[in-house]
Chain A
Amino acid sequence: DAKTTQPTSMDCAEGRAANLPCNHSTISGNEYVYWYRQIHSQGPQYIIHGLKNNETNEMASLIITEDRKSSTLILPHATLRDTAVYYCIVRGNSGGGADGLTFGKGTHLIIQP
């Protein structure tokens, strides 16, 4: 699976959009971009994933650049409860099935009141 690079930490004001960048310059054509977040002492929470197209769900939007070498997770109206570590993960789709996710250090997003 391709390696990802994320900023160590970011701040965002409550009510504003939080934009979390991720670089994955070595991503290959069949690899998906996944985002998870982990609030202290809880299990990681799945947020969203995509292959090529931009994706949106009730939690967030995922914008993937045309060359697929980077992506941005957007939380449209951040609340204090969005304070967490956010992980960007690239995951292969190798034939025959899935494997473990490779978690890096992630971005510690702090929402300021």
Chain B
Amino acid sequence: GAVVSQHPSWVICKSGTSVKIECRSLDFQATTMFWYRQFPKQSLMLMATSNEGSKATYEQGVEKDKFLINHASLTLSTLTVTSAHPEDSSFYICSANPWGVQETQYFGPGTRLLVL
């Protein structure tokens, strides 16, 4: 099946620093990628839809200036958590949706962020 990778798999940073997480589709092109966040024992909450070549669409309550998304190519989307705080500590997961196929969405392995 299709493969989506994320890098890094885990990161620890100091409060106030920025962290960039990469999401790559390895064997297919994705015009759309999605970023989710999961707190312990909770659901996956959609943060934003990343669209290649255009601005991301953020879900209600997600600060676009804090969570910067860049979808620079058909195989790469990045999420930058700016000025991270301890409450941003979470598990961030991306998914990629191949060309116009609603039924198919492949998830990355996730990135664990811990902000001290």
The reply to whether chain A is a binding partner of chain B is no
**Chain A contacts to B: CB under 8 angstroms:** none
